[in-house]
Structure 1
Amino acid sequence: MRRLSIIAALCLATAAFGQDDIALQQAAWEKAAEARQDALVKLWGDGSNPVLRRKLNAMYLRDQDARKFMMALPPDQWTDSQERRRQETDTALTVQLKEIVKTFGWPTFRLVGMDGASQALLILNHSADHEWQREMLPQLEKLAENEEIQAADFAMLLDKTLVASGKPQRYGMDFKFIDGKMQMYTVEDLQHLADRREHVHLPPLAVYKHMLAEIYHLKVTDEVAQPEPLKP
């Protein structure tokens, strides 16, 4: 059974594109992504710790269950109780992930396979502990450079952390919900954004924007939002 990174799985779950050029970009990216995922699975299998991999999978399923309303309803229809449950889930999963990292180190391909490594990064990405996210960045960047975790998954975390610090993002992965639409937060060195995305195996920006529109049922505009640092 083919396995996909978090980002690849989301992209492949979207509907067919209406524009031919975007559809061609999607098809080319999907083909390359599938080959890359197959190679990683062949190399690492399920990793050396299947018990930990299953635990991370259970944590991931809990994370996704707490967010299913976000995929079914536009943001203006999200209720306070749904948001509260999501936040409580994120807090509990952060505690679990910290204990895993303390005991085993960061979950890499070698330890928990491709799925487990991506699921661990997604849980960290959803954490409200922004200080811990920042503390983990140097180690995770090195792991990504050494191809021990997915560079695309790290890119998503890095962008979220930069935006939370009030800085321009690097890969164009973080968007803002505003007035019933979505805007990309400002990006550093926009001229070379496409090259950076390709380097870490992210889909072209037009493909990613279409994916977001399909997931959140909102129009993704070409307007740019300015990052504002989160209050401690």
Structure 2
Amino acid sequence: MSAVLVIVLAATAAAAVVAGALYTGLGRSGAARGGLRRRFGPEYDRAVTRHAGDTRAAERELAQRVRTYGSFTPHPLPPEVREQYLSRWTSAQERFVDSPRQALAEVHELLGGLAQARGFPGPERREEHLDALSVHHPQHLGGYRRLHAAATSGAAAPSGTAAGTEEMREAMLQARAFFDALATEQPYGPQRGAAARAARTPRAERPLTHDGALRGSLLSGRRHTKGNTAS
């Protein structure tokens, strides 16, 4: 075998090794990207937007969140503490009819305290608070941010208008879903999901979120408001 042929064969083998390594690396990168997207859902897209479309920077940030908070196990919530929070929620829900913005502010404070009671960083450390919650409750973070904006910034339409009232009503509904998650559910895991929870939970014990008593109560507020306007 000539020296030239040996060199050609060696170069071909080296190229094959490099190509294989690149293929494996790309495969792992794609799998990691898919895992982060599945885990974070809308939070993944939000991170990409915040990094001006730089998916690698967004994924580094999300991966760091998982490394920091992924092994955290929320503290058990004693039944009596859960009942206290449920009572506070009920009071805020009843107040929504006449004072929706005040009710949202109370619910915003309630959710921050409940998250802290479960062991998450407190709301006064807002960035850490949201990062930790995004790892364990990513599907609720959009609603939580919406609640924060409606309760604290006054950015929503004025509460006396139909648009403002509807925005606050939707924020309240999404807040209830997050309340149920913090008070009753386990953190992120493959067994979590609405269908699995519904199969395990008797109907009488299931939380009311986007239908049932909560929506009925908030819709009664809409009728009450319209009645006052008409009079």
TM-score normalised over the length of structure 2: 0.26
More strand by share: 1
Per chain length, whose mean CA-contact separation is higher, i.e. which structure has more relative contact order (CA < 8 Å, sep 6+)?
Answer: 1
Higher Cα Rg, which structure? 2
